[in-house]
Amino acid sequence: MNSFGTLFKVQIFGESHGEAIGVVIDGLPAGLSLRKEEFSNDLARRKGGATGTTSRVEEEQIEFLSGLFNGKSTGTPLTAIVHNRNTTPLDYELHQSIPRPGHADFTAKIKHHGNNDYRGGGHHSGRLTIALIMAGVVAKKLLGAISIHSEILHIGGVKPWDSSLQKAMEEGDSLGGVIECRVKGLPVGIGEPFFNSIESMIAHIVFSIPGIRGIEFGDGFKAAEMKGSAHNDPIISSDGTTSRNGAGGINGGFSNGNELVFRTAIKPTCSIGKEQESYNFATGNIEKFTIKGRHDACFALRTPVVIEAATAIALADLMMLASAADTLSR
């Protein structure tokens, strides 16, 4: 469904070429000061316009519809939206009959019996991540001194990637990438095993971002090739500091007080400029076609801030759960 979280509950809505993209945050404590300017930086980090990203550039002006009074959260649902102004819905008519390989055109059409808004991928557009950014800014504020930072490790397997990105673009093709996220300052014991373990909640929300192909914590898939003596993280002080961090800062589904580290694999954009083949549902033939519209040659370039936002949302919820559980147990 379109909501995530137990106590810090985020519900997202909107379509790429519809009126707006928005978020409702339920469970936001009263009294948190929020100014529009505080959202500008993260919204700008997600924007298109740079080399390798979409030429669709929107103003991304946030508007609050509810839950904010005199600059502070009221304790009732906070609703925030960003309008879609720069839309080109006619670019997507073709994909009603020829679904783009790799996009949600086919699956959404079948699932929703043809009632889906197919314009720009509708609800399955990367544009929906604006809702995560808005909630992420609020969550980051709630997390206070806990810092979350994401960066691109490579694009298409290389770093620096400028020339390979340029080549892919000249060929009308696309590239993916790997993004690493690090969280500093988490106390020990955040996470609610079994099903709300910290890695389950982060993986859940990160995998909800469109176009994600994998996630690994700490040593990740390499752990399967290591011996226990190499993968174990020796504890070297009473606060739980370890001399290495193969667990990525998590043991038993709880944060262990070390840096939380995970990497996310982002797929190459499916909407490429090259001619492709797909099934035409109108004619019943496999046909050649080319995609119109404005697309990122590499949306991994715009995704670090989205992963930070998703992480902040999951952690804000888990922090609230931990403090509620503590209150009860005391």
Ligand X SMILES: Cc1cc2nc3c(=O)[nH]c(=O)nc-3n(C[C@H](O)[C@H](O)[C@H](O)COP(=O)(O)O)c2cc1C
User: Which positions lie near ligand X, rule CB under 6 A?
Assistant: 54, 103-104, 121, 124-126, 129, 209-211, 267, 269-271, 295-296, 299, 302-303, 306
Q: Which amino acid is at 69?
A: F
The dihedral region occupied by 282, where left means phi > 0, alpha psi between -120 and 50, and beta the remainder, is alpha
Cβ distance 121 to 299 under 8 Å?
A: no
d(CA 255, CA 191): 7
What letter would DSSP give residue 90?
G
CB of 12 to ligand X, least distance (A): 13
CB of 45 to ligand X, least distance (A): 11
Pick 235 or 270: Cβ nearer ligand X: 270
Pick 219 or 296: Cβ nearer ligand X: 296
Cβ distance 128 to 302 under 8 Å?
A: no
User: Token digits for 235?
Assistant: 């504890």
Pick 182 or 302: Cβ nearer ligand X: 302
**Closest of 223, 225, 271 to residue 244, by C-alpha:** 223
Pick 256 or 271: Cβ nearer ligand X: 271
CB of 200 to ligand X, least distance (A): 19
Three-state DSSP class for 178? strand
Pick 68 or 130: Cβ nearer ligand X: 130
Residue nearest to ligand X (CB): 126
Residues 6 or more apart whose CB falls under 8 angstroms from that of 247 comprise 217, 218, 219, 233, 256, 258
Cβ distance 177 to 304 under 8 Å?
A: no
CB of 129 to ligand X, least distance (A): 5
d(CA 292, CA 275): 11
CB of 269 to ligand X, least distance (A): 5
Cβ atoms within 10 Å of 277's Cβ, excluding its own: 12
- What φ, ψ does residue 249 adopt, rounded to 5°? 85, 20
Pick 242 or 264: Cβ nearer ligand X: 264
CB of 142 to ligand X, least distance (A): 23
Pick 123 or 190: Cβ nearer ligand X: 123
CB of 58 to ligand X, least distance (A): 13
